[in-house]
Structure 1
């Protein structure tokens, strides 16, 4: 009995000592990774943000892309050598640097990298290196600590795949005169520089880049800086070219651009913008020969001149290159000194392109060139403030385009192209504020989600720039309500009582808003108004029912939000709506042009949201004027004609259009043909077309989402498209990635017409089926699709009998 007791006590003692040991180890570990400050016990390499104690000064990078596949693996690859010089701010024995999908050549002592410093300064040996895949770090553990204030250089050799994934350093393919050609190009934004070389890949961590490209003879190399020298070299018996570039400005990693191609260019050189300067437009040789780059070349100089004056800062570079790429995920990218575009957004052919194509070209060029200052010279600290970057560029793009084309009244398009577009999203409870907390946006998928309609198009227009406006409070007190809470108000004006009020506008008014706001969804609203065509003084609505204005008008009409300089909708009492519509019928030009678009859009959307005071919805059907077309169809009408022809035709017409698409050499013409193919009423042809989007040889990866969405917009293809997406979702999501499909656009486009309980259930089932894997950058789009479908169901239930009754009364059927 005593012996057994003795053993038990020894057992207990061992357990206690073990627990104490574990506790001690945990405590020491916590101190080691948190600096003794307590708090987060996550290992540094498992955190999503860099620790900040290493600051890069410059990178030396040499890249060699292979424009032919490797005979052994059949993969296109690139090899690289890099060195980054950084300063140590705090003593540390750990180096974290971003790296993703790179294979490293082991350096001395069998490590991925080597570390050097200035002569005479000791450098700690490397203990171990490894790749932390989840957080995309190359981790370097040292045997000793780096010295604060000392500068070091980290050297690496690596290999990456020059894949067709439209991210990082990638390849684009096209055919010219029957020959397949390869372009090595790049898209570093927002987190893909780490796919190209090891780097501190966060926007606030800027450095200077010294770049050298090795490339085949017969090709040209481009980067952010001007080419300094191109020399002929021999590597393993192969004759190659080596191009070195002047150092970049101090800039973020996401702005780096690297391109190797056999492109041609147009060029204007001279004292263009206040100093000796080169403007170049690069594209496929045939496109340049046909003059498709002329328009972009003509407007770039004036736009740069405008922004120099607007910002009162000279453009700091010696050149402005712009290049049209066959495969490109975004519409364009503002790489400093080398802006990349989809072909449809930079090239313009006066013979086949429409006026709309021309307007798109000039506004997108202005948007990207605006970033040369706001975004590139001055850069956001973190991706939670994307709206500052993109929203501002969207706004001033209209100013730059207006300067280049003063006769177009481009600024009038802000309401149609931006304000009304973002209203549709911001009226949902699944919307989001312009700004978010910095620590809530960490993962690449979360970062990509920030680049949505809200960030680009929710612009507080120009009311704060008017010197005649007397601000009732400090600017930040006004702006915080617009920036830090989602949504927007509807201002209701009752001209019979003079009461003016505001409410949070929701597509479904009874929706439960679960996101709390410190401002309780009240805004400080500048109300510009006119009475019978005469503009009145501005007044401010500060609370939900904060005004009682003498607006008893009698036979006169009142119109608020003149020229839509405020971000809100307006509703009126029934009498004022009737007087406004009466003015439309007698002399519509008394009402400003922009407000005519506003009134139509507000009326339909307020009716959709079931707001009182609106007339019952009336549908006016007027005889259409038949237009006779000759065989050479005007560019402005081609989209409609092509679509109608495919819809009315059969397989022969579809195949003919497909063959025309294959032969098209103008990007804007190809885009019209591509979208027209989705207009067919033949479900077998639509199914075939959907399958084409999984084959990059048939539909370019950049265009896959547009094709799928176009088929979904066709009533005959709506159900087919949803079945196709749900069947292939996992394959698309896991195998293709962000460079192939815009998943947020895919979800919102395919579900836009959902309006039945059955479709809602399908969407719920889809969400449940894939919730474990997640939706990446489409997570918010799924929430918005659910909410929009519920709103559509309620609208149909509420209005279908009235609409049906009206149609029967008009048709007698």
Structure 2
């Protein structure tokens, strides 16, 4: 599952950053149909009483029972089309599902109690059988724990004996969710058989990661408790059921269709998946695996799934060759769902995506949107090995899934779309995402102790930038140290020996160590990586080039925090006279090394090509030499480092380790810079200044400076832009968008005139001449400089468009207006799923909060509607809405929020926001006058 995408940039072309950072199991069963009908009667199962008992000593299931296989029958009663009945005012839709399951398990320790998970299911008819002698075992009671464990407890009058084999049968029924959890309903509009173009259609889908399989059927819902699943789905005729495995057989009875699937591979419960829909598909080419991409029939017929289908087989083949292990199943389905809470989910054999992550419409979707699709597909297919085939033992090590999938995505996308040149951009995006969150004292280790991650909310909070981005970056750092070919050899051995099993990071280090040793290397892998995965944070390396002295300390925005942590730091270093060398800092320091001692006129550059997960600070003389190099001949410094020098300077200034004026000086070379990475880095970092000062007198001089800095870049693209064209080079396409964003948001007259004229032409002629690449930024700026008429036009187009990419661009643009009452009304629209889908609520609120006119509105709104808003990505909402907080009053409001509201999965995000607000208050107080003076001096000069 990819980290949920969100946009949180005010003046920058942030959606561009998100575009690149974008930065996510099968079965046979023989059952008599009449028997299934009788056991699944929805009126039969009584509700189990919720008996309160003493909770178990821990939240984890006991290990005395080991599941081996499940036989699951599920019967969603949902209609895909609502049949209107004369004189009936309400439709005859039903949200009920019924089912039964048999779990076969092995007993390893004598017990008279069965613990498993079940959540919001009415369970009945518990039957336990000794499979060794086919004898029934009496059940004395069945009850739920009233705590966060979701334990369903089955008490027996006869103990299960060690080494025995048993089974548990349960009937159950529950509600299909309308909140995108467990088994849920999704809807879309498509022409029906009667010719109605606005007919509503429904489908059922699952979203079970991390702990929602228990909402669909009772199960041992922990990743280490893998099993084989034999599944039958009963669904309405003329619909298609997809599951983790290939369909074994399909039959009909009394208007219902029975689809039985082949057995799944041995897998974790969170990968269980099925859908019931009227979707159609398009195949992908692969020599061995049947790959199909499913979507709405209208989208399939229009060819919107063609790009995804074209690259999926290529990505699968790339991974098979890289890992030396074939994809383990005969089929791979992927489906574009109108509603899904994550951007995508890697269910084994049935990958689910939000429509916008899988569909591409020629002439409407941005050319850059292909990168989003390729990135998501590459991430989810990587999970078929990292996560599905080999799974972490517990959720505290989810980085073994997500960090690897993120890291491998760099290579897969680069393979299938080499013209995108994505590696450098992906790497810096991941690096900066991780740096930002890991610079707070409220961060967490990549691999926290398992006892710290117990409840569902604690598990959900692990799906963050540390897990995804830091995980990928430390893997890249290790691969750089041991060499990529050696690293890949260790990975292949690791995947081979742990297929269908569970691991922890020590297993990974052992296999990479074996590859290193066989290659004659001397790196102590576990010793090195322990400091990066089991410790919180990351270091700043400080180098004094006048005496060669180097030392490290933990980097924190709140630099007053003391830390005794230190890391084994691999440092690639170069100068303007020498090539790259690798050296190590294995102590806190200070140490003195000749390679960090500069000669006359020489500068030193550490962390060449950003291979390490650390920041670098220098003595003032070396900083001056580097910045002079940037202004005179920047190409002497590697491209990634041109961006990273800017990022380090600004963040060191935020942490009060560097003069803020020096950080601002690092942007002066941009006046003549055309490359994307340095511009992206500068604009993203200046965004923090915007957030802190766009309500103060600093903002005017800052805008004046940015107008002048971007003028030449905007002019470079002007001919393209005014003729609604884009350059061929992929990175220049990004920079064109960034140039428009910075120029217009800072009031460059020719940019403002351009967006107004293009949008007005569309409004007057109902003909959209704006290039798809430029629509998002031009829509936003035109609405920002417009009024009610422009907003209403954009809203009308949003409502009428059937293209997901176009709708997303318009949804963002609607948040750009400076008219308060329009923003307030737009916030109210997020409460109506007919207007704004639940999965889009969090990002829509964040878009509004990015707007200085909407930030206070959004903060008040989420407090007034927290119960509804928090159903989505609550942590992302908190991060976005509080990003401008920099006053004591705002801090006190945030602290009250932390006390008065049920934070659940947003808990860590709220306390990180409190810490960040404290940092902001102190930083603004210390730097506002200096920053104002600097920008004023630039304007006057």
Q: Considering the TM-score relative to the shorter chain, is it more than 0.5?
A: yes
The number of residues matched between the two structures is 743
Deviation at 1:133, TM superposition (A): 3.8
Deviation at 1:320, TM superposition (A): 1.1
Instruction: Find out whether 1:582 has 2:713 as its counterpart.
Output: no
Cα distance in structure 1, aligned partners of 2:885 and 2:55: 45
Cα distance in structure 2, aligned partners of 1:687 and 1:612: 40
Deviation at 1:131, TM superposition (A): 2.3
1:638 aligns with: 775
Structure 1 residues 810, 310: closer, same or farther in 2, change over 3 A? closer
1:263 aligns with: 279
Instruction: Find out whether 1:155 has 2:157 as its counterpart.
Output: no
2:895 aligns with: 764
2:263 aligns with: 247
- Cα distance per residue 1:641-673 (max 9 Å; x no partner): 111121122222212211211222222221111
Structure 1 residues 73, 278: closer, same or farther in 2, change over 3 A? closer
1:801 aligns with: 929
| Contact 1:429–1:512 under 8 Å retained in 2 | no
Instruction: Find out whether 1:477 has 2:477 as its counterpart.
Output: no
2:129 aligns with: 116
Deviation at 1:615, TM superposition (A): 4.7
Q: Which runs of 5+ in 2 are unaligned?
A: 1-52, 84-89, 191-196, 484-519, 669-704, 725-757, 759-767
Instruction: Find out whether 1:593 has 2:639 as its counterpart.
Output: yes
Structure 1 residues 726, 44: closer, same or farther in 2, change over 3 A? closer
Higher alpha-carbon deviation: 745-754 or 45-54: 45-54
2:64 aligns with: 53
* Corresponding residue SS for 1:477: helix
Deviation at 1:124, TM superposition (A): 2.3
1:438 aligns with: 450
1:602 aligns with: 648
Structure 1 residues 74, 307: closer, same or farther in 2, change over 3 A? closer
Structure 1 residues 46, 611: closer, same or farther in 2, change over 3 A? closer
- Cα distance per residue 1:572-631 (max 9 Å; x no partner): 122222222222223322221211111111111112222136753346532353543554
Deviation at 1:119, TM superposition (A): 7.4
Cα distance in structure 2, aligned partners of 1:159 and 1:678: 42
1:748 aligns with: 879
* Corresponding residue SS for 2:426: helix
Cα distance in structure 1, aligned partners of 2:778 and 2:480: 44
* Corresponding residue SS for 1:225: coil
Higher alpha-carbon deviation: 637-646 or 471-480: 471-480
Matches within 5 A, 1:489-568: 489-511=539-561, 520-532=564-576, 534-550=578-594, 551-568=597-614
1:22 aligns with: none
Deviation at 1:72, TM superposition (A): 10
Matches within 5 A, 1:141-220: 141-176=155-190, 177-220=197-240
Cα distance in structure 1, aligned partners of 2:521 and 2:623: 30
| Contact 2:234–2:256 under 8 Å retained in 1 | yes
What TM-score do you get using the length of structure 2 for normalisation?
A: 0.76
CA RMSD of aligned residues (A): 2.2
Q: Paired residue for 1:95, among 97, 114, 118?
A: 114
Deviation at 1:708, TM superposition (A): 0.7
Deviation at 1:464, TM superposition (A): 3.0
Q: Paired residue for 2:330, among 303, 314, 318?
A: 318
| Contact 1:533–1:591 under 8 Å retained in 2 | no
Instruction: Find out whether 1:126 has 2:139 as its counterpart.
Output: yes
Instruction: Find out whether 1:715 has 2:852 as its counterpart.
Output: yes
What TM-score do you get using the length of structure 1 for normalisation?
A: 0.88
1:781 aligns with: 909
Instruction: Find out whether 1:291 has 2:303 as its counterpart.
Output: yes
Cα distance in structure 2, aligned partners of 1:45 and 1:167: 26
Deviation at 1:58, TM superposition (A): 1.0
- Cα distance per residue 1:207-251 (max 9 Å; x no partner): 1111111111221110010112221211xxxx1211111110010
Structure 1 residues 585, 806: closer, same or farther in 2, change over 3 A? closer
| Contact 2:661–2:931 under 8 Å retained in 1 | no
Structure 1 residues 325, 46: closer, same or farther in 2, change over 3 A? farther
Matches within 5 A, 1:295-374: 295-374=307-386
Instruction: Find out whether 1:82 has 2:101 as its counterpart.
Output: yes
- Cα distance per residue 1:98-140 (max 9 Å; x no partner): 1101113x43xxxxx1223337443321111122242212211
2:397 aligns with: 385
| Contact 1:572–1:613 under 8 Å retained in 2 | no
- Cα distance per residue 1:719-766 (max 9 Å; x no partner): 11111112222x33xxx76xx321111111110111112211211121
* Corresponding residue SS for 2:201: strand
Cα distance in structure 1, aligned partners of 2:522 and 2:592: 17
Higher relative contact order (CA 8 A, sep 6+): 2
* Corresponding residue SS for 2:163: coil
Deviation at 1:75, TM superposition (A): 4.9
* Corresponding residue SS for 1:423: helix
Cα distance in structure 2, aligned partners of 1:58 and 1:333: 23
- Cα distance per residue 1:469-513 (max 9 Å; x no partner): 797762111111111111111111111121112121111211356
1:224 aligns with: 244
* Corresponding residue SS for 2:390: coil
| Contact 2:273–2:347 under 8 Å retained in 1 | yes
Cα distance in structure 2, aligned partners of 1:120 and 1:549: 73
Deviation at 1:397, TM superposition (A): 0.9
Cα distance in structure 2, aligned partners of 1:294 and 1:533: 50
Instruction: Find out whether 1:63 has 2:107 as its counterpart.
Output: no
2:819 aligns with: 682
| Contact 2:791–2:817 under 8 Å retained in 1 | yes
Structure 1 residues 613, 380: closer, same or farther in 2, change over 3 A? same
| Contact 1:79–1:159 under 8 Å retained in 2 | yes
Deviation at 1:549, TM superposition (A): 2.1
Cα distance in structure 2, aligned partners of 1:232 and 1:332: 32
Cα distance in structure 1, aligned partners of 2:446 and 2:839: 27
Cα distance in structure 2, aligned partners of 1:810 and 1:121: 86
| Contact 1:533–1:590 under 8 Å retained in 2 | no
| Contact 1:574–1:613 under 8 Å retained in 2 | no
Cα distance in structure 2, aligned partners of 1:90 and 1:610: 58
Structure 1 residues 45, 159: closer, same or farther in 2, change over 3 A? farther
Cα distance in structure 1, aligned partners of 2:865 and 2:466: 29
| Contact 1:693–1:704 under 8 Å retained in 2 | yes
* Corresponding residue SS for 1:529: strand
* Corresponding residue SS for 2:474: coil
| Contact 1:573–1:613 under 8 Å retained in 2 | no
Structure 1 residues 367, 50: closer, same or farther in 2, change over 3 A? same
| Contact 1:574–1:614 under 8 Å retained in 2 | no
Cα distance in structure 1, aligned partners of 2:157 and 2:278: 48
Instruction: Find out whether 1:486 has 2:540 as its counterpart.
Output: no
Deviation at 1:174, TM superposition (A): 1.2
2:11 aligns with: none
Q: Paired residue for 1:653, among 790, 794, 800?
A: 790
Cα distance in structure 1, aligned partners of 2:589 and 2:73: 64
Deviation at 1:790, TM superposition (A): 1.3
Higher alpha-carbon deviation: 187-196 or 485-494: 485-494
Higher alpha-carbon deviation: 166-175 or 629-638: 629-638
Cα distance in structure 2, aligned partners of 1:545 and 1:242: 68
Matches within 5 A, 1:685-700: 685-700=822-837
Structure 1 residues 614, 719: closer, same or farther in 2, change over 3 A? closer
Matches within 5 A, 1:376-455: 376-455=388-467
* Corresponding residue SS for 1:355: coil
* Corresponding residue SS for 2:776: helix
Cα distance in structure 2, aligned partners of 1:783 and 1:119: 53
Cα distance in structure 2, aligned partners of 1:286 and 1:204: 41
Q: Which has the higher helix share?
A: 2
Structure 1 residues 433, 400: closer, same or farther in 2, change over 3 A? same
Deviation at 1:367, TM superposition (A): 0.9
